[in-house]
Amino acid sequence: MRKFKTESKKLLDLMINSIYTNREIFLRELISNASDAVDKLYFRSLTDDSVQINRADLAITIGFDEAARTVTVSDNGIGMSKDDLDKNLGTIAHSDSYEFKAAAKDVPGEQEGLDDQKAVDIIGQFGVGFYSAFMVGKKVRVVSRAYGSDEAWAWESDGIEGYTISEAERAEHGTDVVIYLKDDADEESYGEFATEYGLTDLVKRYSNYVRYPIQMEVTKSRMKPRPADAGDDYVPEFENYTEVETINSMVPIWKRKGAEVSQEEYNEFYKTDFHDFEDPARTITVHAEGTLNYDALLFVPSRAPFDLYTKEYKKGLALYSSNVLIMDKCEELVPDYFNFVRGVVDSADLTLNISRETLQHNGQLRAIARRLEKKVKADLAAMRDDDREAYEKFFEQFGRTLKFGVYTSYGMAKDTLADLLLFYSAKQKKMITLDEYLADAPADQESIFFAAGEGLEHLAKMPIVTTVLAKGYDVLLCTENVDEFCMMALGDYAKKDGDEERAFPLKNVGSEDLGLTTEEEKKEAAEATEENRELFDVMTEALGGRVEKVVVSTRLTDAPVVLTTEGAVSLQMAQMLKNAPGAEEAPKSQVVLEVNPKSPVFDTLKAAHEGGDDAKVKKYTEILFDQALLVEGLPIEDPIAFAQAVTELMK
Ligand SMILES: Nc1ncnc2c1ncn2[C@@H]1O[C@H](COP(=O)(O)OP(=O)(O)OP(=O)(O)O)[C@@H](O)[C@H]1O
């Protein structure tokens, strides 16, 4: 049999140009390799007495030369022999680290503050990361000295033709990877990678939690000492100096035991990493062990970010694997209705794809997402029950998101979200949950009543609300656009009493049969409507298609008329849909003008009709209709005509 020949030049080209979409990850890859090299040496020291290593001395160092356009990543890890260089860097897709990882599994380590941390946390697995250096480098030189050897070797390549290996010098075991940056082309600038800011930024972003210190010489500024002979007009002078600093924070806060971390530390982490000025409202920690091991640290912000309700807002949690950032915002980890949750998920068990830009098995992510959703839900419920003031503040910020969640999931997320919702109670004059509404309801109540419109005060005074209140039933006042859609998607809400569940339909006091009228009352109203058929026909005609019909009302006490609707679309909803895109096709509401038979206005109308003055009936009907719209807080078609008609009456 013949062996396949690989065209390594093509393969390398493919590697460099097609695997990664983001060239800045080259630093993450080289640092990960350095971390692996150091980890391997540390592991050797644990398992081989002849290897004497002090863990505290192990480090990764980054150097740069702006003028020479070079970036160097060094480590004092296990190093590579001449053979290793040839095998590991000369063979694409050969990962020594992967083999090592399999052999070194589960040896416990002794890193302080970490919970049962494994001794090693090898990152490499595909044998390709190193070549990402050629995305930014026109030449890469690797100088390495294997632990225990006194020879050093240099591997050099331009990433096109091949590589050379030659003798070199290195004082200690370990490896230096020197990248000679490409020349800047029209739109591509590489120079930024050889700057202090550029490198610090990349380390903090991608490698902040690598377990070994990443050190770099940084420039600082200090005040020069005041000269002894300085006069009163002395102006302090400053000078720059350099200092080696550890730029990564190393221990990921989410891997530390909850009891060992103070809330202040969590707050600081949240504010720094998620760019917020305020402390989070809630901090949720998860350490999961089992088929899928992961740690998560989640935050509910105190305030909604300014763009939360815009299309620009991107939800998601930062996803880490073995302390290295894989994705800044992994959307799959949070459902839309918890899009405000910020935080970090870290799992070494994820099946990464070769570029570490995505995952291969989203089932793993889905499983984590499900667990996290439950955690967030439980935490919000605990806040609702134990710290109501904080919960109301939370709801002010994010209640809309929860309500949108019910609506946009067509009620599918109802079970998760319904008991987290708060609405304003007209009776109790405060925000209450649906459970609290039902707990306070009279025994004969069969539905949950709500009214939708603008402004609490205004809603509370609406006749359709006051009549229901007068009968002893509470009405939830809904003032946000999404409320009515949310109520519609909810449909009903179940009261749980031990094992028993009873569903209470949610009813809009302005559009539905509230079930508050007796059969007798209904019959009477129907008869009265029939008796006044002629008058009502004149009135319906006067409104020229704006109402479906005019009827005698059973729900009014004082007000002369009220507008109600039949079918699913209430007046408020119709008003909202009118302004929405695609308004022409939006369903219209079927409006009914209900007349209060107990009102003197009804007698006036009747008298006018009987006296043959239908012109008056029509004029009054117009006024009553507009007035009813105003009471609902809705715009009237012709305010000038309305004003003139009222003026006319006063003459
Ligand atoms: N700084 C280093 N010190 C010692 N060995 C190294 C170093 N950098 C790379 N190697 C060796 O070269 C091999 C190939 O590296 P490369 O980055 O291409 O792949 P990897 O790290 O194994 O996997 P991945 O593609 O997942 O990063 C490694 O497995 C490791 O054995």
Give the model confidence (pLDDT) of 372-388 as tens digits: 999 999 999 999 999 99
| Mean pLDDT confidence for 288-301 | 92
User: Higher model confidence: residue 373 or residue 645?
Assistant: 373
Which residues lie below 8 Å from residue 457, measured CB to CB, with a gap of 6+?
Answer: none
Residue type, 15: M
Q: pLDDT digits over 179-232, tens only?
A: 999 999 878 899 999 999 999 999 998 899 898 999 999 999 999 998 888 888
Kindly tell me if the per-residue pLDDT of 516 is higher than 90: no
- Cβ(37) – ligand 1 distance below 6 Å: yes
Rounded CA separation 132/20 (Å): 8
| Mean pLDDT confidence for 564-572 | 78
CB-CB contact of 133 with 29 (8 Å): yes
- Cβ(130) – ligand 1 distance below 6 Å: yes
Buried b (16+ CB within 10 A) or exposed e, 14-34: ebbeebbeebbbbbbbbbbbb
**pLDDT computed for residue 620 by the predictor:** 92
Span from the CA of 111 to the centroid of ligand 1 (angstroms): 24
Kindly tell me if the per-residue pLDDT of 107 is higher than 60: no
Q: Are strands 317-321 and 294-300 parallel, antiparallel or unpaired?
A: unpaired
| Mean pLDDT confidence for 156-180 | 93
Span from the CA of 648 to the centroid of ligand 1 (angstroms): 91
Kindly tell me if the per-residue pLDDT of 116 is higher than 50: no
Rounded CA separation 176/144 (Å): 6
**pLDDT computed for residue 119 by the predictor:** 63
Task: Spell out the domains of the chain, with CATH numbers in brackets.
Answer: 2-223 (3.30.565.10), 253-386 (3.30.230.80), 410-508 (3.40.50.11260), 519-650 (1.20.120.790)
- Cβ(90) – ligand 1 distance below 6 Å: no
**pLDDT computed for residue 355 by the predictor:** 66
- Cβ(129) – ligand 1 distance below 6 Å: yes
Please report the DSSP string for 466-489 in residue order: HHHHHTT--EEEE-SHHHHHHHHH
Kindly tell me if the per-residue pLDDT of 113 is higher than 50: no
Confidence category of residue 439, pLDDT binned at 50, 70, 90: very high
